[in-house]
Structure 1
């Protein structure tokens, strides 16, 4: 696929998301989860510990800036803002697909400058699972990690998006075997994530069996990449095809709970429709180790690193208050906070 096609597609993705399009028809399921309020917390709000270990580094708060975009020229400023904010906040950063940079196109700021801007935070590189049967292997995976000084590699699963994308990669025969071979050979942590349709408990068990270090459920409730592809399509048939999948997928809250029950020792990222710090607290209570957000912070990322910091400062404040009002001195306590009966 040509560099121009990839670059134009990434630009169109940004336009759809920034315009508010491509939102999932289902919610992420967090409204059905309600904490029992603690009216007499024996805590100092300011001393609540939100820190967590992730990929060998200590985060100040359990947040990951999830994968957004890799290709277009305007992504360079976005990625710079995200890296600077991640460093300032002490949270993790996952970049968007590096396919364009890998194939020799513009890197959109996904180069050594990213690590320079965020020397202390976990950074996750990113390739697509569909490319693993198209010549992308261990050498290429190491290259994308080296480009940005990454601590780990994300391999994203996006079958619905590819099926709805007019120029999508629909032949997934052999992808699972290629993924396992990569995980076994890379000698670096591999994070396997969905892109908005969720990962089921049986698939999570399978991935952990392959050697995946981290699962990101990326459930339904946020951006729907099938719909996003439908909105950028020019063919009425392509648009109608994508529209039928408006409510497709496993809601994030359910995916987190199911995967945690099936994989009790796994490191788990909860993402997909996280709106605020209260949702983040619910995701952690259901079993997530850290929480990812992408589309919700994209508009701030187009403006400045300060805007991204302000966005997450609010979410962190909301998470801290949720801990306060559940009597949770730290995230371990929050994982055992009482929930109201349905």
Structure 2
């Protein structure tokens, strides 16, 4: 299967199949609750969700998470999502730009600034493992330049690559290659997982690199092992993907591990975050911002306006969580304690 066909297959499966972990609370957010403050000493009208991320001012600490690109269908989804991000004043992250390296004509599917010229913060994206398959500084700079990226994500996905029939699994000696290329890109660089989480062990390795920060990509949202098992024609590979669908570090644990190992760098929380209360919890745990993908992708399938409405919902939920914990500014959430107790506000996951 070609990369373009695989991209559209991933998109279709995420939209049409159950690719999130069913039931339970794999992220860890449901076991945490805020202390409700009935005397918040702040007016709701005074609550502000604005923040700064990588030097860019955002209306809320939200990134429309990396999803897709490289095909006509993916390009349309990217344009809708970018327009929604622009309208709501939040950041937007492109899916893997590997397709651009193979077919320059696919650039249009990633060139979202044409549709959203006022987008405040745009992340480029490539799998870190591609450094072991011939990608160098020149190619990376071109990826940044050709889409007008303000920052760049190197995604880490050894689990997905190992399940994927076409997977690239040469992950040896990536640390020195990353250390060499990151300073040459000319924009801030983050390392991000895509659903199995960044552990304490991994975060400590990353701390030695000249990165601006990380994105957790924790367990609890879209399982790419599950996605690849759904794609697999071989029964053994399908079984392998199912067996590892719950492998990884829950998002809550990953946020804590990354903040501890990277105390002065950016931590973007992602992995199954689905509402503004969970956004507030992620920020209280130490995240600087959060990224969401699947719920926004499903909304964008309808229209860019539907995606913008979903973002507006998240921001209003975050504002209310801030109000009910006495926070007038996003930064104040860091000082609000979380109790290890069942959160009765958390909707059951289906």
TM interval, shorter chain, is over 0.9
Could you say which residue in structure 1 is the equivalent of 2:208?
209
Q: Deviation digits for residues 204-238 of structure 1, max 9, x if unmatched?
A: 23213211112001100001111111110111011
Residues 256 and 286, structure 1, Cα contact 8 Å, conserved in 2: yes
Superposed displacement of residue 338, structure 1 = 2.9
What are the residue-to-residue correspondences of 1:136-175 with 2, within 5 Å?
Answer: 136-175=135-174
Worse-matched range after superposition: 255-264 or 284-293: 255-264
Residues 72 and 106, structure 1, Cα contact 8 Å, conserved in 2: no
1:252–1:335 Cα change, 3 Å: same
Superposed displacement of residue 112, structure 1 = 4.2
What are the residue-to-residue correspondences of 1:16-95 with 2, within 5 Å?
Answer: 16-24=13-21, 27-95=26-94
TM-score after normalising by structure 1: 0.95
1:101–1:146 Cα change, 3 Å: same
Residues 215 and 267, structure 1, Cα contact 8 Å, conserved in 2: yes
1:261–1:174 Cα change, 3 Å: closer
Superposed displacement of residue 329, structure 1 = 0.9
SS at match of 1:42: coil
Residues 222 and 272, structure 2, Cα contact 8 Å, conserved in 1: yes
Q: Deviation digits for residues 95-139 of structure 1, max 9, x if unmatched?
A: 001111121154264454525514241000011111111111111
Moved over 4 A (4+): none
CA distance in 2, matches of 1:115, 1:8: 25
Could you say which residue in structure 1 is the equivalent of 2:248?
249
Let me know the Cα RMSD of the aligned residues: 1.5
Residue ranges of structure 1 left out of the alignment (5+ in a row): none
1:188–1:27 Cα change, 3 Å: same
Could you say which residue in structure 1 is the equivalent of 2:348?
none
1:213–1:171 Cα change, 3 Å: same
CA distance in 2, matches of 1:107, 1:50: 36
CA distance in 1, matches of 2:250, 2:90: 25
Residues 36 and 340, structure 1, Cα contact 8 Å, conserved in 2: yes
Residues 76 and 108, structure 1, Cα contact 8 Å, conserved in 2: no
CA distance in 1, matches of 2:19, 2:164: 13
CA distance in 1, matches of 2:105, 2:227: 23
Q: Are 1:11 and 2:13 matched, yes or no?
A: no
What are the residue-to-residue correspondences of 1:162-311 with 2, within 5 Å?
Answer: 162-311=161-310
Worse-matched range after superposition: 112-121 or 163-172: 112-121
Residues 162 and 170, structure 1, Cα contact 8 Å, conserved in 2: yes
Residues 281 and 338, structure 2, Cα contact 8 Å, conserved in 1: no
SS at match of 2:79: helix
Residue ranges of structure 2 left out of the alignment (5+ in a row): 342-350
CA distance in 2, matches of 1:118, 1:46: 30
**Count of matched residue positions in the alignment of Structure 1 and Structure 2:** 339
1:118–1:33 Cα change, 3 Å: farther
Could you say which residue in structure 2 is the equivalent of 1:117?
116
Q: Deviation digits for residues 174-195 of structure 1, max 9, x if unmatched?
A: 2222222111322321111001
CA distance in 1, matches of 2:338, 2:220: 21
Could you say which residue in structure 2 is the equivalent of 1:315?
314
TM-score after normalising by structure 2: 0.93
Worse-matched range after superposition: 12-21 or 107-116: 107-116
Superposed displacement of residue 91, structure 1 = 0.3
